[in-house]
Amino acid sequence: MSELTGDRPVIRLRPKSKPQAIRHGFPWVFADEAVLDRRTKALPPGGMAVLEDPERVPLGLVTVNPASKIIARVMDADPAAVIDGAWLRARLERALALRARIYDAPFYRLVHAEADGLPGLVIDRFGDAAVIQPNAAWADGMVDEIAEALVAVTGVTTVVVNGQGRSRGLEGLTERLEVIRGTAPDAPVPVQMNGAVYLADLLGGQKTGLFFDQRPNHAFLQRLVGEGKVLDVFSHVGGFGLAALAGGASHALCVDGSAPALELARGGALAMGAADRLETMQSDAFKALESLAAEDRRFDVVVCDPPAFAPSKPALEAGLRAYERVARLAAPLVAPDGYLALCSCSHAADLTSFRNASARGIGRGGRRGVHIHTGQAGPDHPTLPQLAETGYLKTLFFRLD
C-alpha cells in the first residue's frame, strides 16, 4: 500500500495503467486501474484523496467513490487544492463567463460536468432559477455549498436539486427532488430559443425540465423547413416542432408518449401565437410512425430525437438496431426531396456507428439520400476532448430523393 501524501489519503495508479492520460486531461480512474491505501478505503463516497502515478508522483486531487466503477474523478491538477466555497465560486465564475459571452438571456446549461471542471455535476439555468443535477457522490454531498456558490455567482433566487436518473444509480446514490433555495415556481418557466417559446417544468419535467442541447440544430432545421410541414417524433415539450413553427412552418405534428410534455408543447405554441398550426399525438413513437405511414401522410421534414437507446457499451448493439428501426420507419414519411433528421444522445454509440445504422435504416425504408449536415450540442455543452461522453449528442440531417 502507498504512503500518505501530506495529511491526505492516497490512491495510486497500478503499474500497467496509463498515467499520461491523466496528465493529458483524462478525468477518470477506473476501479481496476488503482490501488487504495487504508485511509482511502475508509473514505465515504465523495471523499478527497491525492492521485499518484506508479512511481508515487502526485498527479492531482481526486474525489473517490469505492462504490462506483469510476473510482476516482479528477477535481484539480493541484494535489493541495481545497474544495470549498471559494473553489466552487471560481469554477462557476469561469463557466458563467463563457455563457454570458455567447447568450443574450440567462437560459442555458451553466455547468456541463467534467468539461467545466466540475465532474459529475450538471446545472441548467432558467433565468432566476437553476436546476442542479448532482450525478457524482462529491456533488451530492456538497450540494448545499454548490447552491450557495451558485447564488453568489449568478444571483439566482431559486435552486432545485433534481437527483434522478441512471447516472446516480451507478454512483450508488438514491433519488432526490427538492427545492433548496427560494420557492418552487408556481408555473412552468417560459424559455425563448430561436424565436420559439418552450415551457420548462422544473419539478415535474424530464431531467432539468428542458433540453438546451439541441438549440443549434433547431436553428438549422428552421433554415430547411421554410413554410413546409414538420413531423417531430419523441418531441418532449415541442423541441423541433415549435422551432419549425417559429421558422415559418405551416404545420407541425409533435408525437410523444407523455401527455404532460405535449400539454407544455401546446402551451408553448399558444404563447407563440402558433396554436392553430400545431397538432399533437400522444403515442408510442414506433406505433405512431407505423400508423402515419398507413395513413399515407408525408412531411417536408421529419425529425426523430429519441432517448438514449445505447446508454452503455453492453446496450450498444440493441441500441443501434433501435436507431436503424427509427430510420426505417421514418424515411417513408418524408416527402420527395424532403429532409430527415435523426438524433442520438447515446455516448456509447459513436458518430460513425450511428450514421451507419441510420443509413441502413433509410435504405431499408425504401429511400435513398445524402447526408448534408452533422449537428452537435451548443457551446453551453462544451466537449472535453479526452472524454467522449461529454460530446454525446449527434444530429444527422439527410436529404431524401
233, β-bridge pairs: 255, 304
State whether 219 and 329 are in the same domain: yes
**14-18, 57-61, 98-102, 373-377: the lowest-pLDDT one:** 14-18
Could you tell me how many helices (H) and strands (E) the chain has, helices first? Answer: 12, 20
Catalytic residues, by residue number, are 345
CA-CA distance, 360 to 356, in Å (whole number)? 6
pLDDT digits (tens, 9 = 90+) for 44-83: 999 999 999 999 999 999 999 988 999 999 999 999 999 9
State whether 149 and 200 are in the same domain: no
CA-CA distance, 380 to 106, in Å (whole number)? 11
State whether 67 and 97 are in the same domain: no
List the CATH number of the domain containing 21. 2.30.130.10
pLDDT of 41: 83
Mean pLDDT of the chain: 94
State whether 208 and 349 are in the same domain: yes
Question: Position of cell 463563457?
Answer: 98
**Alpha carbon separation from 177 to 32, 146, 188 (Å, rounded):** 33, 16, 16
Number of domains in the chain: 3
Of 181, 205, 222, the residue that ends a domain is 181
What is the mean pLDDT of the segment spanning 343-350?
A: 94
pLDDT of 6: 58
State whether 248 and 380 are in the same domain: yes
CA-CA distance, 370 to 366, in Å (whole number)? 14
List the CATH number of the domain containing 279. 3.40.50.150
What is the mean pLDDT of the segment spanning 160-186?
A: 91
Residue 154 has pLDDT above 60, yes or no: yes
Strand (E) or helix (H) holding 388: none
Percent of the chain with pLDDT strictly greater than 90? 85
State whether 158 and 254 are in the same domain: no
List the CATH number of the domain containing 177. 3.30.750.80
Highest mean pLDDT among 40-49, 111-120, 305-314: 111-120
pTM, rounded to two decimals: 0.94
Residue 1 inside a domain? The answer is no
State whether 209 and 320 are in the same domain: yes
pLDDT digits (tens, 9 = 90+) for 232-271: 999 999 999 999 999 999 999 999 999 999 999 999 999 9
pLDDT of 4: 40
Q: Could you tell me how many residues make up the chain?
A: 401
Residue 23 inside a domain? The answer is yes
Domain with 383, as residue range(s), is 189-400
Of 76, 110, 130, the residue that ends a domain is 76
State whether 137 and 215 are in the same domain: no
CA-CA distance, 142 to 125, in Å (whole number)? 19
> Which is more confidently placed, 204 or 255?
255
